């Protein structure tokens, strides 16, 4: 155990590298993974940075060389990210797929609520001091996501005769949801920004894993049995999913 711990613990190792491409310098976050077999790069969509994963026995010199050789890739991918949309007054946020403009109501009591103006415009009203706007909007969206996902997950669990023991709401960058064999489901809060049928599909997908903990043909038959809009939701996520990561962040 002690020998293995020494293999992965390198206290003096930097957590980041700087990569130059053209006139720009990019910060690349380093992480080791015990199962990694090679060096890999990916872009974190909400943190808006490159992450370089290293194998256990990889070296910083090799990592820096790898990152530098892929400087053009890093620059292109970061440049392709959609414009950031912080939770500030004036920003339009898609609540359940419908645009809502954030409006600050400093003189009013409460937290966050929705209204529809006479013009038909939908707004997301935020009360209180301006320094709390971003946190209050995020908290509200997380609560709404939990409410919708809890309702959909319980409904599908009853239909499939399985039990959801725990449901967590997180900000996952690489997947929209996950499931454990113990019955714990985890979802990205950003699903509340998508149309309801997308959130509904993800709930069906993860609950179906309580029947089949794989992505076999049998698993997809279970999903299709309880959810009629699988392909429609998958197509929406493939087309628009990456855009959801721009909300609540600043460039």
Mean pLDDT of the chain: 92
Inside any domain, residue 84: no
Residues 140, 43 share a domain: no
What phi and psi, each to the nearest 5 degrees, are found at residue 41?
A: -120, 140
Confidence at 109, pLDDT banded by 50, 70, 90 = confident
Q: Which domain holds residue 29?
A: 2-79
Residues 70, 108 share a domain: no
CA–CA distance from 38 to each of 41, 54, 153, 155 (Å)?
10, 7, 37, 42
Contact status, residue 100 vs residue 94, Cβ threshold 8 Å: yes
Which helix H or strand E contains 236, and what residues bound it?
helix 230-240
Inside any domain, residue 140: yes
The total of structural domains in the chain comes to 2
Q: Averaged over 62-88, what is the pLDDT?
A: 93
What phi and psi, each to the nearest 5 degrees, are found at residue 81?
A: -65, 140
- Mapped onto helix, strand or coil, the DSSP state of residue 109 is coil
Sheet holding 112-116, edge to edge: 92-95, 98-105, 122-127, 112-116
Residues 110, 172 share a domain: yes
Residues 189, 153 share a domain: yes
Q: Averaged over 137-155, what is the pLDDT?
A: 98
Q: What is the pLDDT of residue 174?
A: 76
Residues 73, 144 share a domain: no
Inside any domain, residue 251: no
Residues 196, 152 share a domain: yes
Contact status, residue 245 vs residue 42, Cβ threshold 8 Å: no
Residues 32, 64 share a domain: yes
Confidence at 48, pLDDT banded by 50, 70, 90 = confident
Residue 144 pLDDT > 80:
yes
What phi and psi, each to the nearest 5 degrees, are found at residue 14?
A: -70, 150
Residues 115, 55 share a domain: no
Positive or negative torsion for Cα 153, 156, 158, 161: negative
Strands (E) in 106-236, as ranges, are 112-116, 122-127, 166-170, 177-179, 184-188
């Amino acid at each position: 155990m002690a020998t293995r711990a020494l293999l992965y613990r390198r206290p003096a190792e930097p957590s980041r590298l700087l990569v130059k491409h053209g006139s720009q310098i990019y910060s690349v976050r380093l992480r080791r993974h015990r199962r990694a077999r090679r060096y890999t790069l990916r872009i974190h969509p909400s943190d808006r940075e490159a992450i370089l994963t290293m194998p256990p026995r990889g070296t910083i010199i090799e990592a820096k060389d790898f990152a530098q050789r892929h400087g053009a890739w890093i620059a292109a991918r970061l440049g392709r990210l959609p414009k950031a949309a912080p939770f500030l007054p004036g920003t339009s946020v898609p609540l359940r797929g419908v645009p809502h403009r954030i409006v600050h109501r400093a003189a009013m009591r409460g937290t966050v609520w929705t209204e529809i103006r006479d013009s038909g415009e939908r707004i997301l009203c935020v009360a209180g001091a301006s320094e709390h706007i971003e946190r209050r909007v995020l908290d509200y969206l997380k609560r709404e996501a939990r409410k919708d996902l809890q309702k959909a997950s319980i409904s599908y669990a009853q239909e499939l005769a399985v039990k959801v023991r725990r449901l967590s709401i997180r900000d996952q960058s690489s997947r929209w949801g996950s499931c454990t064999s113990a019955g714990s489901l985890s979802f990205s809060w950003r699903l509340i920004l998508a149309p309801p049928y997308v959130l509904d599909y993800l709930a069906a997908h993860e609950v179906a894993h309580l029947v089949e903990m794989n992505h076999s043909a049998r698993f997809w038959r279970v999903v299709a049995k309880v959810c009629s809009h699988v392909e429609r939701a998958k197509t929406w996520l493939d087309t628009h999913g990456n855009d959801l990561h721009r909300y609540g962040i600043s460039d």
